[in-house]
Structure 1
Amino acid sequence: MSSRVASRGSVMANAIYGLLNPIPFGFFVAALVFDITYARTGVVQWGKGAAWLIVIGLLFAVIPRLVNLVQVWITSRRTALRADRLDFWLNLAAIVVAIINAFVHSRDAYAVIPTGVWLSVCTVILLAIGRVIIAAQAPAGDFGHE
């Protein structure tokens, strides 16, 4: 969410969004690292750890998306930028891919690779592209404020 859109929403919603929005990205990157480590070592605990990280990332991903949904699509429909909407769709697609990835990780440990790795890569790439788009639209000197 750009600062132009975020300034129109409630202060509490902006605080919740700013606090929770970066957390899923960290969990999904960690899950990707765990998946790659599992693919390289074959130690089942890395795969199980990745499964937990994906589920926790999904739990933290839902609330910021709901706040973003209200602020970009309902409250600030006319003032929301195209980049804000694209970021919303990229994050939503990443959540859908992560849900599929959670189901893949619920299978037998040896059935997770390589599908789990590719789904983790897709999730991280979608989230990263959304971050880059939002950062590119921010005015100069406004990169630290979401």
Structure 2
Amino acid sequence: MTAPTQRLRSSLANSVYQLFNPIPFGFFVAALIFDVVYFQTAEMMWSKSAAWLITIGLFFAIIPRLINLIHVWIPRGRLVLGAEKLDFGLNLIGILAAILNAFVHSRDAYAVMPSGMILSVVTVACIALSLIIASTFYAPRRANHV
């Protein structure tokens, strides 16, 4: 019995993933801030702007999620770490919460609150945790010189 070989990821896919992965997080954090402002002021502009930010964040989340899906669930002889699966699961929960949040934000006026703000918090928390976890296995490895 031979041990599985440690194959590296595709450089192009990894580069595209690293480029696009943080973008949705910024949009979701901005949407959370807009939700908090709307909760405090009841000015409709903040809620509508948050709805747009969530939609744009979901749009930018498509490419990195597809790359992550392939890397985690179709490893092609590569060992998949438990942290990678946890990262994928947390991103999945965050994206599903954001999709639900987009539907909640399509409501009229104050019907968005408090569920819209709660879903924004869940989305940001899940994706923040996944980014923290991902930093452990995407960090560059140092060579040990003796």
Distance (whole Å) between structure 1 residues aligned to residue 117 and residue 77 of structure 2: 36
Residue deviations 1:38-89 (CA, integer Å, cap 9, x gap): 0001110000000000000000111101001111210356511100110001
Specify the alignment match of 2:24 in structure 1: 24
- Give the letter for the 1:116 counterpart: G
Deviation at 1:103, TM superposition (A): 0.1
- Take 1:11 and 1:58, find their aligned partners in 2: how far apart are those partners? 24
Greater Cα radius of gyration, structure 1 or 2: 2
Contact 1:8 1:76 in 2 (8 A): no
Aligned to 2:3: none
Alpha-carbon distance in 1 for matches of 2:96, 2:103? 11
Q: TM-score, normalised by structure 2?
A: 0.86
Aligned to 1:34: 34
* Partner in structure 2 of residue 79 of structure 1: 79
Two-structure CA RMSD over aligned residues (Å): 2.0
For the structure 1 residues 85 and 76, does the alpha-carbon distance in structure 2 shift closer, same or farther, using more than 3 Å as the test?
farther
Partners of 1:66 and 1:53 lie apart in 2 by 21
Contact 1:83-1:134 at 8 Å conserved across structures: yes
> Aligned partners of 1:37 and 1:59: how far apart in 2?
24
TM-score of the two chains, using structure 1 as the length reference? 0.86
Structure 2 runs not aligned, ≥5 long = 1-5
* Identity %, equivalent residues: 55
- 2:97 is aligned to 97
Alpha-carbon distance, 1:15 to partner: 1.5
* Alpha carbons 2:72, 2:80 under 8 Å: kept: yes
| 8 Å Cα contact 2:8-2:78 kept in structure 1 | no
Give runs of aligned pairs for residues 1-146 of structure 1, distance below 5 A.
8-76=8-76, 78-137=78-137
Give the total of aligned pairs: 137
Between the two structures, name the one with larger relative contact order (CA 8 Å, sep ≥ 6). 1
Query: What SS does the aligned partner of 1:75 have?
Result: coil
In 1: Cα distance, 2:107 partner to 2:40 partner: 19
Q: Confirm or deny: 8 A CA contact 2:72 2:84 kept in the other structure.
A: yes
Query: Mind listing any 5+ residue stretches in structure 1 that lack a counterpart?
Result: none
